[in-house]
Amino acid sequence: MSTTTTQPPAPGPGPGPTRSDLRHGSLPNRFPAALLASCAAVVAGVLLAFGAFGFLLWGLLTAVSYAVIVVTASARVEGGRKATDRLVTALVYGCFVLAMLPLASVLWTVVGNGLARFDGYFLTVSMNGVLPSMDAGGAYHAVVGTLAITGMATLISVPIGVMTAVYLVEYAQGRMKRTIMFFVDVMTGIPSIVAGLFVVALWIMLFGPGRTNGAAGAIALAVLMVPVVVRSSEEMLRLVPQDLREASYALGVPKWRTITKVVLPTSAAGLTTGIMLAIARVIGETAPLILTAGTSAVSINWNLFDGQMMSLPVFIYSQVRMGGAVNYERAWAAALTLILVVMLLFFLARMIGRLFAPKAS
């Protein structure tokens, strides 16, 4: 900037705006994209010439050279503030790419490894009568178990969670509110295996040893889900404008009807998303299910109250522990199945959310 102020006013836009001339120079719109592409090409060429090409090194050097060049060019043509903007833009995009890398890598690996055994057969047969090393069997029983246990956990935790959130937002005051919020936070911090142990202990107390079943798993997951549902629902209910509640009260509508007919419908889309996140949080839980629903079920079991129940995460875990090539294939295919189940649920939630969402103009 100092150069601009000391220079005599040049004809036309110079670097950086001055008080007398409000214009400033600017790089062409396509400059960043073109620069990035040429940086990538040049760095790739140099690396190849030295025989040291690696994707990580290539990406890193491209990013650094791009940042250096774009900032220098911008500082010369556009001035200091614009240069800072370009630098921060480059940093933010860099961080975004960095954050997306693990996600892309996980998806890539799971799909690549999982497709080998992921087919209709895998999804429709159980491991009943299949020896672990045999080239047969599938994960149907685990899908069934996951759906049944998670479904039951959702049925238990959603009413408790949403009603707790309604109580916290609409009714609770003072010490009671603080106490409940504190315990919800404490519950969020419960390690999942402790939730599993708690339910095992409860089942031994109620039904005697060795009687754990799918329902026990569902309860353990519900313990983990409730605080997540409470927290997200609470946020969503707080987002409903006080205006709407008052509009309803002003029509002579009692509080409970205001909550059920105005507040909950208005926040329905957000509530659904929150519940889906809670489901996604517990559907991959392994530890509490190993302790409760068991690791040895091989046949299809829809009955939560009768004996052990396989689930997808536990299926992956037990297959990996067996260690054969075919077991690894099954584990990857089951991992792919689990990801697809979660994505399917998210898709459904979006649909449901759209159905309830406040209608825009």
Partner 1 sequence: MAKRIDVSGLHVYYGDFLAVEDVSMTIEPRSVTAFIGSSGCGKSTFLRTLNRMHEVTPGARAQGKVLLDDLDIYGPDVDPVMVRSEVGMVFQKANPFPTMSIYDNVIAGARLNNRRMSKSEADDLVEQSLRGANLWEEVKDRLNKPGSGLSGGQQQRLCIARATAVKPSVLLMDEPCSALDPISTLAIEDLIHQLKEDYTIVIVTHNMQQAARVSDRTAFFNLSAPGKPGKLVEMGETNQIFTRPEKKETENYITGRFG
Contacts to partner 1 by CB under 8 A: 173, 241, 243-254, 257-258, 261-262, 265-266, 268, 356, 358-361
Q: Please name the amino acid found at residue 335.
A: A
| Least distance from partner 1 to the Cβ atom of residue 261, Å | 5
Give, in order, the Cα–Cα distances in Å from 279 to each of 62, 144, 216, 315.
40, 16, 17, 18
* CB 198, CB 294: distance < 8 Å: no
| Least distance from partner 1 to the Cβ atom of residue 275, Å | 18
Rounded-to-integer distance, Cα 278 and Cα 137, Å: 31
* CB 152, CB 304: distance < 8 Å: yes
Rounded-to-integer distance, Cα 64 and Cα 51, Å: 20
| Least distance from partner 1 to the Cβ atom of residue 238, Å | 14
* CB 203, CB 211: distance < 8 Å: yes
| Least distance from partner 1 to the Cβ atom of residue 167, Å | 15
* CB 2, CB 13: distance < 8 Å: no
User: In degrees, to the nearest 5, what angle opens at C-alpha 71 toward C-alphas 65 and 76?
Assistant: 130
Q: How many CB atoms lie within 10 A of CB 170?
A: 15
Considering beta carbons, is residue 11 or 254 the nearer one to partner 1?
254
Rounded-to-integer distance, Cα 5 and Cα 63, Å: 32
| Least distance from partner 1 to the Cβ atom of residue 168, Å | 14
Indicate the DSSP class of residue 260: I
* CB 284, CB 296: distance < 8 Å: no
| Least distance from partner 1 to the Cβ atom of residue 258, Å | 7
Considering beta carbons, is residue 324 or 358 the nearer one to partner 1?
358
Spatial CA neighbour of 266 closest among 242, 283, 295, 298: 242
- CA dihedral of 96, 98, 101, 103, whole degrees rounded to 10: -60
Backbone angles phi, psi at 346, to 5 degrees: -60, -40
246 CA to centre of own chain: 35
Q: Is 309 helix (H, G, I), strand (E, B) or coil?
A: coil
Considering beta carbons, is residue 197 or 268 the nearer one to partner 1?
268
Considering beta carbons, is residue 129 or 358 the nearer one to partner 1?
358
Considering beta carbons, is residue 150 or 258 the nearer one to partner 1?
258
Q: Please name the amino acid found at residue 162.
A: V
Considering beta carbons, is residue 238 or 257 the nearer one to partner 1?
257
Considering beta carbons, is residue 317 or 356 the nearer one to partner 1?
356
Write out the H or E segment, with its range, that includes residue 49.
helix 31-50
| Least distance from partner 1 to the Cβ atom of residue 312, Å | 36
Considering beta carbons, is residue 264 or 287 the nearer one to partner 1?
264
| Least distance from partner 1 to the Cβ atom of residue 265, Å | 5
Considering beta carbons, is residue 232 or 248 the nearer one to partner 1?
248
Considering beta carbons, is residue 266 or 319 the nearer one to partner 1?
266
Sign of CA pseudo-dihedral 48, 53, 59, 63: negative
